[in-house]
Amino acid sequence: MEALLLSIRLAVCVSAILFVVGLPLAYWLAYSRWRGKFLIESVVALPLVLPPTVLGFYVLVAMGSRGPLGKLWQAAFGHGLAFTFTGLVIASVLYSLPFTVQPLVASFESIDGKLLDASAVLGAGRLRALYRVILPMSIPGVVTALVLTFAHTLGEFGVVLMVGGNLAGATRTVSIEIYDRVQSLQYAEANRMALVLLAFSFVVLSIVYGVNRRIGRRVWSPWPAK
Amino acid sequence: MAGKISAPLAALHVRVERRNAGNPSFQLDVSAEVLPGFTILFGPSGAGKSTLLDCVAGLLRPDAGQIKIGEDTLFDSQIHVNVPPQRRRMGYVFQSLALFPHMTVKENVGFGLPNLPESERLSRINEILRAFRVENLSGRRPEEISGGEKQRVALARSLVTLPRVLLLDEPLTGLDAELKSFIVADLRAWNAEQKIPIVYVTHTREEVEALGERVIVLDRGRVVSQGYPHAVLGAPRSRKLAQALGFENLFGGTVLDLSQVDGVMRVRLEESTTEIEVPLGYAAPGDPVKIAIRAGDILLASHRPDGLSARNVLEGNIVALEQRGTTVIALVEAGVTFTVHVTPSAARSLGLTAGKPVWIVLKTHSCHSVSE
């Protein structure tokens, strides 16, 4: 149970951070006309193709007591980053980045450019266009991004193992716990957790698809009319 | 006018040059002054009309030039001024209208007024909705109203902010003439008080004639003529423009000889033996030319006429005859096939029928040589 709660806490933290970080990044990727944009797009998509061990390895090196991030953290907070919950959050943010950014970019790019032109001509700056036009028209994309990020973080294994290790209460997430149980031949225990994770993932995805479908019919909108 | 001056009369001055990265052969190079009131920007599709409006609105950046409203500079490449669109205070109604689909009519119209106190904001919205006769739709979404209503809402949304210039990019396409004239009447009524320059883009000749205002004709990125419709539309300079203007007869031809003294040249049409005399153009014997002739400028005679000032009299046969509304369209074969418009009564008194021999009479100055 402890492992499951830890996994959920991790997924909530990562989703929240990625929404705040991913939104401006997605906005930039969707609307920038910079020629070198493809390089940033490639970096954002890297976690999709890299083995988690490779990503985890470099994050671990950076966070280690002699790595740049580790040193900085040590100087600021008096303890290291590797094998802590915070370290796990940082690694997971990197690992789940494309799952937040890509649905948002796709959603932003599908908005008719003329609507943004109209918004500008009517006096709205970029921020107002974002809040009154782009985001309200991207609700399915936002919901998809949040849920994919949450679910992906919940299920991650390799990166956690590399960066977090296996410390009960701090870094032992549910997927690690399942692995542990299987290694020690406790199949019944493993099965119970796997089943919880399976059911949870299914329920979450059902909610997303259900909500997206309803938004498609404009029944529900979290953006109140001004 | 009751002596009420509600807005300063500020003209729009535009001088823009812009090359298109995707199409190196196209270059916009326009200089024009647009006075308060309606001005029609006319040209065939691809002439650069929308590009010009986008430059004026600040959505596209010209390579060089200057854009001013009265004395207020919006763009000047020399002193590096480029006011962003949200601070230009312009109204722009796009061809697609671009109403926000997730907002109601009222929210759409109020979008441009975020900083007003709520009561004033509401009264401004209601006032403009009434002026454009859509106050009963305020709670609907764009998908729930008709095409004509959408166009009225888009106009109201653009005008509620009291813009200094209104740009209309073929906003009334797809509406029937009657509905169109109602909307234009409401727009004129609104502008009788505001007196701002309104640039109305169209590519159809009917709209130009219906609005009957000053016209700027744009072709291949350049202003080719400006003035009042009858003067401007009578003499096209290019094949595409002639087509857009509704010149029903467009023939390829070869220059046979030129007479500098008389200011005319003789042209053989297509591959036929038909020769006509047209006004002198920049051409040499043997050069290919295009000749545009309006169907309504051609006379038909049932007997060979003589004692006429018209220089071109061609013998031919009627191959087809069709009445459309109050116009009889005759196709006359005279080496090449001419399209001729006559009135039904003229067709009756000449006894026009298919197969009947007729004579085509063409004034030299009804034949316009146009470039490709």
Q: Is residue B221 part of a domain?
A: yes
Q: Is there a single domain that holds both residue B294 and residue B333?
A: yes
What is the per-residue pLDDT for B212?
A: 66
Residues of B with CB under 8 A from a CB of A: 54, 57-59, 84-92, 94, 96, 98-104, 107, 110-112, 114, 141, 157-158, 161
Q: At what angle do helices A85-109 and A52-63 cross, to 10 degrees?
A: 130
Are B294 and B248 in contact, with CB atoms under 8 Å apart?
A: yes
What is the per-residue pLDDT for B372?
A: 67
Q: Is there a single domain that holds both residue B275 and residue B163?
A: no
Last residue of a domain, one of B182, B206, B235: B235
> Could you tell me which chain A residue has the CA closest to the CA of B139?
A225
Beta carbons within 8 Å of A159's beta carbon, 6+ residues apart: A52, A55, A56, A59, A91, A92, A95
Query: Which residue from B44, B93, B46, B91 is spatially nearest to B240, judged by alpha carbons?
Result: B44
Does the distance separating the beta carbons of A114 and B86 come in below 8 Å? no
pLDDT single digits (tens) A50-101: 998 899 899 888 888 788 888 888 888 877 777 888 888 999 999 999 999 9
The torsion defined by the Cα of A71, A72, A77 and A80, in degrees rounded to 10, comes to -30
- Confidence band for A219, pLDDT divided at 50, 70 and 90: very low
Long-range pairs, B82-87, Cβ under 8 A, ≥24: B82/B58, B83/B58, B84/A120, B84/B58, B85/A117, B85/A120, B85/A121, B85/B57, B85/B58, B85/B59, B86/A120, B86/A121, B86/A122, B86/A123, B86/A124, B86/A125, B87/A123
* CA-to-CA dists, residue A149 to A17, A136, A160, B10, B107, angstroms: 11, 20, 15, 54, 33
Q: Is residue B162 part of a domain?
A: yes
Cα–Cα dist B155/B210, whole Å: 19
Q: Is residue B242 part of a domain?
A: no
Higher pLDDT, B147 or A18: A18
What is the per-residue pLDDT for B358?
A: 92
> Could you tell me which chain A residue has the CA closest to the CA of B88?
A121
Q: Is there a single domain that holds both residue B184 and residue B221?
A: yes
Which of A118, A124, A128 has its CB closest to that of B94? A118
Mutating which of B50, B59, B161 best tests the A interface, going by the most A Cβ atoms within 10 A? B59
Last residue of a domain, one of B189, B205, B235: B235
Rama region for B252: left / alpha / beta (φ>0; ψ in -120 to 50; rest): beta
Contacts of B111 in chain A (CB under 8 A): 119, 122, 124, 132
Which residues of chain B are modeled with pLDDT < 70?
A: 1-8, 21, 212, 231, 234-235, 237-238, 240, 244, 372
Q: Is residue B1 part of a domain?
A: no
- Confidence band for A197, pLDDT divided at 50, 70 and 90: confident
Q: Does A78 touch chain B (CB under 8 A)?
A: no
- Report the share of chain A in percent with pLDDT over 90: 35
Does the distance separating the beta carbons of B114 and A118 come in below 8 Å? no
Contacts of A226 in chain B (CB under 8 A): 107, 110
Does the distance separating the beta carbons of A117 and B59 come in below 8 Å? yes
For chain A, the farthest-separated pair of C-alpha atoms sits apart, in whole angstroms, at 66
Q: Is there a single domain that holds both residue B149 and residue B177?
A: yes
Mutating which of A111, A122, A142 best tests the B interface, going by the most B Cβ atoms within 10 A? A122
The chain-wide mean pLDDT, for chain A, equals 85
Contacts of A220 in chain B (CB under 8 A): none
- Helix extents (H) in A139-186: 139-154, 158-163, 174-183
Tokens encoding B236: 């096209």
Q: Is there a single domain that holds both residue B297 and residue B337?
A: yes
* CA-to-CA dists, residue B311 to A168, A203, B271, B363, angstroms: 104, 87, 21, 6
Q: How far is B51 from chain A (nearest CA, A)?
A: 13
Distance of CA A16 to the CA centre of its chain: 8
> Could you tell me which chain A residue has the CA closest to the CA of B104?
A225
Q: Is residue A225 part of a domain?
A: no
Bridge partners (DSSP) listed for residue B252:
B290
Other CB atoms within 10 A of residue A127 CB: 8
Domain of residue B85, residue span: 12-235
* C-alpha Rg value of chain B to the nearest Å: 25
- The ipTM is 0.76
State yes or no: pLDDT of A225 exceeds 60: no
State yes or no: pLDDT of A223 exceeds 50: no
Cα–Cα dist B222/B78, whole Å: 22
Domain count, chain A: 1
Q: Is there a single domain that holds both residue B197 and residue B268?
A: no
Domain count, chain B: 2
Q: How many CB pairs under 8 A join A and B?
A: 68
Q: What is the CATH number of the domain that holds B357?
A: 2.40.50.100
Last residue of a domain, one of B235, B266, B293: B235
Other CB atoms within 10 A of residue B332 CB: 25
Residue with structure tokens 């590009």?
B51
Q: Is residue B325 part of a domain?
A: yes
Cα–Cα dist B345/A108, whole Å: 62
User: What's the pTM?
Assistant: 0.73
Which of B86, B99, B103 has its CB closest to that of A120? B86
Cα–Cα dist B122/B129, whole Å: 10
Q: What is the CATH number of the domain that holds B87?
A: 3.40.50.300
Cα–Cα dist A56/A77, whole Å: 22
Which of B54, B96, B114 has its CB closest to that of A128? B114
In order, the DSSP letters of A33-74 are --TTHHHHHHHHHHHHHS-HHHHHHHHHHHHSTTSHHHHHHH
What is the per-residue pLDDT for A77?
A: 83
State yes or no: pLDDT of A182 exceeds 50: yes
What is the per-residue pLDDT for B5?
A: 45
DSSP A223: S
Q: Is residue B164 part of a domain?
A: yes
Q: How far is B140 from chain A (nearest CA, A)?
A: 13
Q: Is residue A226 part of a domain?
A: no
Domain of residue A108, residue span: 2-216
Q: What is the CATH number of the domain that holds A162?
A: 1.10.3720.10
Other CB atoms within 10 A of residue A177 CB: 23
